[in-house]
Chain A
């Protein structure tokens, strides 16, 4: 298909762009296959380059022959384009509509994007499971790397290499897989160096109404327990929801069959509820009515902050089991691709200082989200301005980022990265020139040949020029476990994302710059003092030698 077919009017002059807190720009609007471009054709004026994939929804209005298109983006920004001429406006609107809702993945921009920078380190090769297994091997010999899922037949949403207990053979894994939703049998997620406890993740067991059991599954998870030790199963659903799941063939681990495990139920919301929560939250944030009661009641009704609190609490609970109780943990919900990953990845940020470095955080996202089969393409197809026709969209990843931000706010010196990295990841998960977040699982990404045909986000992020923007000047490595407060008074609204386009950030940005400046000046002074000291010491020695000679 040619993009040109969809572009009825490629160019319109005299278009006015209006954005809150920014001067209006008048210029020429151009539509290309992947971008909406507005240029004033003057040197110093900012131009708008908007990926069609970033457009969540559009509205059009007419006053006389002046048409207005309101473009609502997945990164939550809302812009307004005033287009002279009704026909032009209609053409542009329908083109945007068509181009922003392309069905075929292979028509997405990442397949056409050619980087303007030299790829020094290929992000597609940066995170190899074998590498992280080597680290694990140096600490313990109880785990092995299994190729049972080599052709993705045992579990389509898992990667080809999986870390499993050494004593469990591939045949047992296959049997255990048939007992778990989507074939997602329990695999290693995290190994806690300090005491050898582990976090595992899986999907729900398929016990059904008649209480099916699977010896291999029991053996598999028991293999992770030391003699006489007990573990925790964290089910991210309430007991009621878990019970209901039985009717559809799912279920949960029965005490009788898993006597060494204690099950805890938490209440993390499911995907469609979360999407609804996001839509309501963004609607509240964009409400210009200035009434305090209305704002607070809308914020409450969105339930977003409750979701953040619940996810964070569950993650802390998992971390607490590992670090404080010295017990291993198995986490699952229904499918094991959403709330499960939120919990396991956040628990690692709390427990493992390595995850708080930029590189470590990238590894975490690669391993716990991309390889673990979070269906990014489905979940991030639409954002907060989606209307009606929702399939399986849900801000699962955004909630995870929000929780990371909450921890970052409470431990501002313990992370190597700053808020910008989290916001950037949010943007790219929803619309990007890079291929990293395309597809729903490793198998799909292989079929799409993303690593050959697109550029990895990590290739770009890890360039020294880009990294600088994401560095936290206050960072001081901290090897402790960091326990965030989950009291509602301690959890804040993530303004950097949700109020980003509704406020002027100039004052806040300048204050941040001043802080960076103070810290940099400190380093500079330290160096200066050191070099002067050396110089002085040298002179003094020389002086002394001269004196001695005399």
Chain B
């Protein structure tokens, strides 16, 4: 018999939520409205300046916002930039980032994996390989443990 035959209805009550000392998430301060850089990034992409578009997108990524629309937009822009790179240029782009940049890139790569489109996964896997070589397993761990997601 795999299931307990006694009534387990009482287990649906979460007693910790009635504890007066329970952990309450700190309210985030409202971040200042980030200027939207996506038109600038797209313009750079059209001109063929993929590397500069990449750096602009990384720099202007919304760090503290809780606004899901802004995050979606930033993710979309980032994905466009990542997919517009040629395979041979990826390594150079990754090497031009600092440690925080590599961590941020890894977060966007995994976000991109979550919503796969036609060709995105293949190019994202190449980005992942190069980012892993620079950031190591630690950068993936930081994607998993981050409290502020992109």
A and B interact physically: no
Which A residues form the contact surface with B (CB < 8 A)? none
Which B residues form the contact surface with A (CB < 8 A)? none
